[in-house]
Structure 1
Amino acid sequence: MTKTSGAEPAPPTLPARTADPRMIAAIVASALFMQNLDSSAVATALPAMARDLAVEPARLGAAITSYLVALTVFIPVSGWVADRFGAKRVFMAAIVVFTLASILCGRATGVAELIAARVLQGVGGAMMVPVARLLLLRQIRKEEMLSAMAWLTMPAMIGPISGPPLGGFLTDAFGWQSVFLINVPIGALGLALVAWKIPAIPPGNPGPPDRIGLFLIGAALALFMFGLETIGRGVVPQGMPQVGLVLGVMFGWAAIRHCRRVKRPALDLSLLKIPTFSQSTLAGTLFRVGAGTSPFLVPMLLQVGFGKSASEAGLVSFATALGALAMKPLARPLLKRFGFRRALIGASLVAAVGVALPAAFTPAWPLPLIFALLALGGLFRSLQFTALNTLAFADVPAARLSAATSFSGTAQQLAPALGVVLATTSLETSAMLAGRHSPGVPDFAMAFLVAAAVVAASAPFFARLAPDAGEAVSGHGVKRVAAE
């Protein structure tokens, strides 16, 4: 057991409530929207960026990789930083860093300059996302958590879907620089609202950071993400992605051994002993991996398979966001009626059908019908994301919220990358087995079916939850208990 010195760490003192939790959720969500929008819009602007910077588009993929690596590496330390310096202060600083880095990205004149700015942007994003959730959780009661999380999860659904059409419009109308510069007014507004409306939480005493654990976790995530983001793209010498994956697994194994031995680890694995946190994080990651293929596959199918324009594909893909919005007022009554266990099992199975549906699409299908079916899929995925993000923290003690948000944030960041890898691997494998040089419509169909199987595979894990899991948050069973 690692020895520590000084007083026993203490959680920050909670402030008296002064604001509506829905308003707090909406304010911190503005920053999350900026981060999610940026992540998806940049991909649309890559060809124009490559032309201006006189490089191959494949090489410029490092602009996305560098951001994801920085984002993933710095998330584990975010909880400790928030406790040490105060969640509100750290959140505001993260918005400033992300916004300034966005300006530097828009002013970049070379690849190295752009990558450096993207790394800085990733540092800001890493502090912004989990600390925003922590800031909200420390301002609300358990019975308010579900409603607040429904507001907070909207950016996670809307940002990646609205990013491609908005990124395409901004790039065509004002140049690729505007994809980054749009963050300036959003960041300024979010910063002002946080400073004005959200109460400050005094810093606590989290104790010294687990430097060895942070290094091992950072190295594992950086190497693993590097391998995932570069494998099969031809942007680095052959064999390097595989080496990165192997080293990432080795560092990850060392990190797990270390975190099990020390008193206050960088990644608190003992949180997995809390059933609601464990199932929400592990089974939720499996669900997110499968569901994370859709934002990548649907626009590709419409453009590559059906010959639609980028703007048409982007607008049709936006249907998922509309479905997510429609679910917002329905999530609370549904979870109160069925409880987390039944809702998660049912929504995962229905969402799997929604992920599989595009496998049946053909160029003869009318776009309005495709739009409607995608909106239905977004409806149930939104319910699942709201339920997962709420249940994960339903039974976590206040003193361990910082560790829980860092753990959950790291898992959630890995899922989209794994989803893209699942999608590309399925496409390439199907095309190779059929003897095609490039993926066709049948290969997209196979990729959607594989992704749907992964989504459905999460249902048995949700079945392990207790029937009364998260009742204090959902309100399910309250009337029954009162009647007894």
Structure 2
Amino acid sequence: MTKDSKHTALLWIVATGFFMQALDTTIVNTALPSIAHSLGVPALALQPIVVAYTLTMALLTPASGWLADRFGTRRVYFVAILLFVIGSLCCSSAHTLGQLILARVLQGIGGSMLLPIGRLAVLRTITGEQYVSALALISVAGQVGPILGPTLGGWFVEAFSWHWIFLINVPIGAVGVIAVNRYLPDGVSRDAPPFDVIGCALLSLCMVACSLAIDVPMQTHRVEWSVGLFVLGLAAAFVYIPYARRAKNPLFRLGLFREPNFSVGLIGNLVCRIGSSAVPFLVPLLLQLQLGYTPLHSGLMMLPSALAGTVAKRWIAPLIRRYGYEAFLLVNTLIVGSSIVAFALFSRGTPIAIEIAVLAIFGAANSMQFAAMNSVTLKGLTIADAGSGNSLFSMVQMLAIGLGVSIGGGLVNLFTDQWNSAALGFRLSFACVGAITLVSALVFRRLDNETGRPVPIAARAAQR
């Protein structure tokens, strides 16, 4: 086999892994009411299956690069696909909510390593001008997953059963594990530094505690538990600061935060994504539970958002060049937040053309928002800090998704119980999560307008 054909095979393997991971984050949402009916639980009680998956990925992402260096890219990527497939099989055979949550954790362990290790394999194998083209192919796979996910999930539910939204990963993964052994480079590094277990444990405790504080699993003394867990999460974060100063090889150097746009971008990303990440979870529930749409119809309704997001990506660079990051993010954040609030106006009498228009506006603005936030957060990092900054940034992204789902679902339950109206519960919840997104505009006003510095290649690799 020639060198070019090996590179092509490698790219298809990584793109397939990225596709599986991206597909799985969206395909579940459309099927939630059907899964809830099958398991005999309320639809909003299923938010832990989304949070468990994203939070697991957030916890394990920093370890993926070290694992690849220590045990080899091929071996770890093989295990990642295998765990993802086994987790998918366990999800499809779950009979209780608890079983499904545990299976999603197993799936998340595999999913956490698919994209980072795949990128690492490409970075070490393909260099020069071919590297940019390689990243473009991989990013296309990441875009196709969210486009197909909601519609495919709705079709599986109606044509077969919800179990097939997980079973689809089995044949894809089976081909993947065979191809990995044949085409993926070994990638073992003899110079892999010791992994910062203590630092990872502290930050993991922070993320888990803060996530549980929002969606407390205990039925009694919920306020006390919530406050206690939140304080525990903050304490773990504060303990990490003096620890990282003393540690020889900390998980994340504190020097990362001396780059002002990285700090501002990280906080802005967290706040903005909390609001916008609630939308893919809440909108399919709104369409099916309140507006009476079928699973397939609700999945098709998500297509305008995904397609508009894909088209809008080409507008980002010229708009930022003309107006700068601060002005662009300020205006675009207002559009994203306002479109989320507009979902509160959806009712059975709303013309479908208006619903599609609002979904398309949200999809286009949200896509540009993510790309601009990614770029402004990472662009100032040095080559030495790019890898560490990317890992922390990925953790924050996954954490924000979990928090968005927890907050969105929790608000619907709270307002529904308070006003005894599910319709009002959804409306008020969309207004609240939209307001959270709008708050991030205040954060982006603190951006440094210095945009002339080049973007390190390693930093660009993490943008998606």
Question: Which band: TM-score by shorter chain?
Answer: 0.7 to 0.9
* Equivalence for 2:459: none
Q: What is the SS of the residue equivalent to 1:297?
A: helix
Matching residue within 56, 62, 79 for 2:65: 79
CA contact (8 A) 2:51 2:401 kept: no
User: What displacement does 1:225 show?
Assistant: 2.8
Q: Compared with structure 1, are the counterparts of its residues 117 and 216 closer, same or farther at alpha carbon in structure 2 (3 Å cutoff)? A: same
User: Which has more helix, going by share of residues?
Assistant: 2
Matching residue within 277, 280, 283 for 2:262: 277
State yes or no: 1:118 paired with 2:112: no
Query: Aligned partner of 1:389: which letter?
Result: N
After superposition, what is the alpha-carbon deviation per residue over 1:314-340, rounded to whole angstroms, capped at 9, x for unaligned?
221222101111123333443444444
After superposition, what is the alpha-carbon deviation per residue over 1:89-109, rounded to whole angstroms, capped at 9, x for unaligned?
544442232123223433456
CA contact (8 A) 1:63 1:115 kept: yes
* Equivalence for 1:395: 380
Q: What is the SS of the residue equivalent to 2:421?
A: coil
1:463-482 equivalences under 5 Å are: 463-469=445-451, 471-473=453-455
TM-score, normalised by the number of residues in structure 1: 0.77
* Equivalence for 1:360: 345
Query: Aligned partner of 1:319: which letter?
Result: P
After superposition, what is the alpha-carbon deviation per residue over 1:120-141, rounded to whole angstroms, capped at 9, x for unaligned?
2121122224444555666788
For 2:344 and 2:44, locate their aligned partners in 1 and report how far apart those are by CA, in whole Å. 28
For 1:142 and 1:454, locate their aligned partners in 2 and report how far apart those are by CA, in whole Å. 41
Matching residue within 293, 316, 338 for 1:331: 316
Q: Compared with structure 1, are the counterparts of its residues 185 and 398 closer, same or farther at alpha carbon in structure 2 (3 Å cutoff)? A: farther
Query: Aligned partner of 1:408: which letter?
Result: F
Matching residue within 421, 436, 444 for 2:419: 436
TM-score, normalised by the number of residues in structure 2: 0.80
CA contact (8 A) 2:72 2:186 kept: yes
CA contact (8 A) 1:69 1:226 kept: no
For 2:103 and 2:411, locate their aligned partners in 1 and report how far apart those are by CA, in whole Å. 33
State yes or no: 1:446 paired with 2:428: yes
CA contact (8 A) 2:47 2:409 kept: no
Query: Aligned partner of 2:422: which letter?
Result: P
Matching residue within 4, 8, 22 for 1:36: 22
CA contact (8 A) 2:15 2:138 kept: yes
Structure 2 unpaired stretches of 5+: 457-464
After superposition, what is the alpha-carbon deviation per residue over 1:464-483, rounded to whole angstroms, capped at 9, x for unaligned?
33333265249xxxxxxxxx
CA contact (8 A) 2:336 2:366 kept: yes
* Equivalence for 2:330: 345
User: What displacement does 1:35 show?
Assistant: 1.9
* Equivalence for 1:11: none
CA RMSD of aligned residues (A): 4.0
CA contact (8 A) 1:27 1:190 kept: yes
Aligned residues between the structures: 452
Query: Aligned partner of 2:243: which letter?
Result: H
For 2:410 and 2:98, locate their aligned partners in 1 and report how far apart those are by CA, in whole Å. 29
Matching residue within 226, 229, 238 for 2:220: 238
1:82-481 equivalences under 5 Å are: 82-86=68-72, 90-108=76-94, 114-134=100-120, 159=145, 162-188=148-174, 203=189, 205-228=191-214, 230-231=215-216, 236-239=218-221, 242=226, 243-428=228-413, 430-431=415-416, 436-441=419-424, 443-469=425-451, 471-473=453-455
User: What displacement does 1:27 show?
Assistant: 6.0
